[in-house]
Chain A
Amino acid sequence: MIPVEHYVTLSSLLFIIGGVGFLVRRNVLVTLMSIEVMLNAVNLALVAFNRARPWHAIGQTYAGGSHTGQVFAFFIIAAEAAEVAVGLAIVLALYRLRRTVRSDEADLLKN
């Protein structure tokens, strides 16, 4: 059985890669995808810790184990779907205004 430390290491590597992409890239589409990478890394860590500690529940405990981490990951997935829908709508609105998808040219609120 793979120990949970390996999952945490993989998760932190994925999070670092996504964060560097978020900071370095200027294409708004790639920036959004980097956020997806980071949230996937968080989901992986949550599910891995849930697997390692299946009996620590928020409320009552279940005989088959609790699913606290998996429920958190589920809600992260739901929030992320909403985030992507709104984010891509903002990308389309930015493109309609500025004819670009560069994040450093989105300076409509500057000055």
Chain B
Amino acid sequence: MSAVGTVYFYVCAALALAGALAVVAARNPIRSAMGLLLLILSVAGLFLALHAQFLAAIQLIVYAGAIVVLFLFVIMLLGPSASPPSDRRGVVARTIGGGIFALAGLSAMAAVVRAAAAAHRTMPMPDVDASFGGIDAFGSVLFSDALAPFELSSALLMVAVVGAIAVARGRQGIKALSRSEQEIAHGPPASEPAQEHSGVFRHDIDSASPALPERGQRLGVHEAPHDAPAQGAKESSV
């Protein structure tokens, strides 16, 4: 059991680190989103190992089900401009900033690891009830001690929804409305002007000027099929 738990932890930790590195290092934002998904799934697995079953489920539903999908939706909406071509402006300053942050964080982490090694004992993980972290125990805390922040978080989400709609829609007035909304505001639009159709949609095709040229003229490859085998034979002989 213990060996299985150890292997499980290290597999989840390696997957989480790989996902985080993919988020940061990938050129394509789609790959970043997939790395984020891998990170979220492995952190949910670690939550299960930490006796936080309800949070693992929430992690899967909210993160993997909503946030990653929202990211993918926006990436698809932006299309190829979601991954702009790279230029090297300011790369030195950004690298120095990232390096300083990484050095500070790694030294803090090294301090924690050294203190843990110097103590010659690890912080024990006490046994807890089987219901610890389940939806029953968690919900009883959520609706007793944490009731006020829980209710306030609904106000936060409400404000976030309203703000997201207001920001994403912009203040463009009538232009931001969809066609059906404009019809409601202004009545039905005038009948569309007659358009000049061409190509296969021409209505006045006559035999003197067909829309499509003759077959041989269109393809223009009369000689090519005969040339290709000869060329192949020549190459094979060489």
Contact = CB atoms under 8 A, between A and B. Distances in A.
Interface of A: 1-10, 12-21, 23-27, 29-30, 32-34, 36-37, 40, 43-44, 47-48, 50-52, 54-55, 57-60, 62-67, 70-71, 73-75, 77-86, 88-93, 95-96, 99-102, 104
Query: 7 nearest interchain CB pairs?
Result: A21-B24, A82-B160, A3-B122, A89-B168, A16-B105, A64-B129, A89-B164
Contacts of B109: 9, 12-13, 16
Nearest to B20: A17
Interface stretch (B56-64, B181-189, B196-204, B214-222): B56-64
Contact of B59 (A6, A12, A77): A77
Interface string B217-232: 0000000000000000
B106 interface: yes
A20 B159 CA distance: 30
A33 B32 contact: yes
A85 B70 contact: yes
Contacts of B13: 6, 10
B153 A79 contact: yes
A16 B66 CA distance: 25
Interface string B147-175: 00110010011011101110110100000
Interface string B1-41: 01001100100010011001101101001001101100110
A105 B62 CA distance: 31
Interface of B is mostly: helix
A70 B101 contact: no
A47 B101 contact: no
A93 B102 CA distance: 32
A44 B43 contact: yes
Interface of A is mostly: helix
B24 A44 contact: no
Interface in B56-111: 58-59, 62-63, 66-67, 70-71, 74-75, 77-78, 81-84, 89-90, 94-95, 97-98, 101-102, 105-106, 108-109
A48 B32 contact: no
A60 to B, nearest CB: 7
A96 B160 CA distance: 20
Contact of A64 (B23, B82, B137): B137
B112 A9 contact: yes
Contact of B116 (A5, A52, A58, A60): A5
B113 A5 contact: yes
A24 B102 CA distance: 11
Nearest to A71: B146
B141 A67 contact: yes
Contact of A93 (B5, B20, B116, B170): B170
A17 B116 contact: no
Given A63-B129, A92-B167, 10 more contacts: A1-B2, A3-B122, A9-B109, A17-B17, A32-B71, A51-B125, A64-B131, A91-B74, A95-B78, A104-B89
A67 B168 contact: no
